[in-house]
Amino acid sequence: MDKELWMRYLCMYGLSNVKQTDDILVAFRLHGSSKTTNQQILFEKETNSLFHKLAQEYGLNDVVKEIDKLGISFYITEKRVFSGLKQDKAMQVLQYFYLQKAFRLYALNDFEECRYFLNHIDGSFISDSDQFEIQKINDRMKYPVAIKKLINWYHKIRR
């Protein structure tokens, strides 16, 4: 998937122009030389760089500095990549970037880094249901990893 293409599309046209279907439109396979399987770190750096570029283009300098401080991006292109958003919508997209990073780090039991990203989320930009998920994660991080795994297992079997 071309993540930059999808990000540009969504910035330009929003979710309202994305149509959902149960039809299979594309298929791909994971193999040893696919970027998804053998270049996960590079794949993540590319994603981080796209969000860095988004923050940069919309003048969200505090976010740019935070991403720079983390050293998680690896390329910056000079061309303008994103358009079609107002600055507050760009900030909302970046809040969800922080949220996605926090969820991933929580799943990896990296609570310190997870807390870092959760602490940088401005709740006024995200949905109530996502704020509820943040509260659940914050509550669960108070317990040892073994308890967290047990809670997650319990919720998994209840579904």
What six digits make up the tokens of 156? Answer: 């998994």
d(CA 23, CA 157): 28
Strands (E), 27-153: none
Ordered per-residue pLDDT tens for the chain, 159 residues: 577 888 888 877 777 778 888 998 888 777 777 767 777 777 788 888 888 888 988 999 988 888 887 777 666 666 777 877 888 889 998 999 999 999 999 988 888 889 999 999 999 999 999 999 999 999 988 888 788 778 778 888 887
